[in-house]
Structure 1
Amino acid sequence: MKDRICVGAITGSFGVKGEARVKSFCADPAAIGDYGPLSTEDGSRSFTLKITRPVKTGFAVRLSGVTNKEQADGLRGTRLYAPREALPGLPDDEFYHADLIGLTVLDTGGTDHGKVHAVHNHGAGDLLELRPEGQKGGVLVPFTRDIVPTVDLTSGRIIIDPPDGLFDDPESSA
């Protein structure tokens, strides 16, 4: 999957003439239409996408091969992927979420805190979901320069300076 990046998702139909509603994950949301044909996660289908107008939480789009409301509704939840080479290069301090997933996370003292399982953004900034070895559930770490001073894609690791208490076991303080 490192050769493709998720750039958006189909959230359902828009109207009755086969348009779909798409949520863009791009830094410039309207750029989702600029990356050529987009494919499904498994690569079994690909679509050319033409934005017809902005709508609440995304865009109304025409997808190649989708001609009616039922087809558009059937694609609800489908993630759309662009080839990495079609996407713009990033400055040194920016990363595609796909590049962070799977990296080992160490704190500034060298303690291993697991691997990045996912990257979330609920509107207030990115959060790294870590899955520490031998621990139930994950830990969310704010992806800020203060807390995550180093991302080394070459060595496959992230160095964090977590705030006090982030990795404390809540059951041990009970």
Structure 2
Amino acid sequence: MAGADKVCVGAIAGAFGVRGEVRLKSFCAEPGDIASYGALSTEDGARQYIVTLTRPVTGGFGARLSGVATREQAEALKGTTLWAPRDALPSLPDDEFYHTDLIGLEVVDTGGATLGRVRAIYDHGAGDILEVVGKGLILLPFTRAVVPTVDLAAGRIVADPPAEDSDPAPAFDE
């Protein structure tokens, strides 16, 4: 399992072509940066690859990985995540965070009551959403209005969840 010293920067979606290239999905803010972090390792650290991007493809890049020479080797890596050393990544401004740093943080409301812990972060195109699991499941937009405070040192997020709508929208008549 990955620790705080590594960050997931991409995943192999399968083989690309017949000469050992892979289809690579980058999780980097600048997708092409995935090849600039040096050797990337598998999540368990058992294997390392130097990534050379060959061409853009739908949803990512065609890429060569060191030590992968055949389509069969490339196909066997499908689903493998690639991890960069934490110290190879750029530092972020005070109001930006790596998703991996938010996973597991305690979430409290503005009154200090515990809401749960961050289990996952989703980005479906309209901005990040925090999945908080405690007594139930809460999905919080990761905006300054809803999440005014992220304190990594204290391991805590302060959230001001939107009020629940006591009058749900009426059902549509068919």
TM-score w.r.t. the length of structure 2 is 0.91
Equivalent in 50, 61, 64 of residue 63 of structure 2: 61
CA distance in 2, matches of 1:91, 1:70: 42
The structural deviation recorded for 1:125 is 1.3
C-alpha distance in structure 2 between counterparts of 1:67 and 1:152, whole Å: 45
**Structure 2 residues not aligned, in runs of 5+:** 167-174
Number of aligned positions between the proteins:
164
Partner of 1:158: 157
Amino acid at match of 1:161: D
Which portions of structure 1, spanning 4 or more consecutive aligned residues, are displaced by more than 2 angstroms? none
TM-score, structure 1 length as denominator?
Answer: 0.91
**Counterpart secondary structure, 1:32:** helix
CA-to-partner distance for each residue in 1:107-153, whole Å, 9 max, x for gaps?
11111111011111122211111111x43xx3221111111110000
How is 1:81-160 mapped onto 2 (pairs within 5 angstroms)? 81-132=83-134, 134-135=135-136, 138-160=137-159
Aligned-residue offset at 1:33: 0.3
Structure 1: tracts of 5 or more residues without a match: 169-174
Deviations 1:4-40 (A, max 9, x none): 0000100001111110011101010000000000001
Pairwise CA RMSD: 1.2
1:92 is matched by which residue type in structure 2?
Answer: D
Aligned to 1:71: 73
| Structure-2 separation of matches of 1:15 and 1:26 | 24
* Separation in 1, partners of 2:123, 2:74: 26
Distance 1:13 1:127 in 2: 31
1:68: Cα distance to partner? 1.0
- 1:154 and 1:6 mapped to 2: Cα distance? 21
SS at match of 2:35: helix
Q: Report the residue type matching 2:161 in the other structure.
A: P
Instruction: Write the mapping of 1:1-20 to structure 2, written as runs, cut at 5 A.
Output: 1-20=3-22
Counterparts of 1:158 and 1:62 in 2: how far apart (Å)? 40
CA distance in 1, matches of 2:24, 2:58: 10
For residue 169 of structure 2, what is the aligned residue in structure 1? Answer: none
CA deviation after TM superposition for structure 1 residue 66, in Å = 0.7
Whole-Å separation in 2 of the counterparts to 1:8 and 1:113: 31
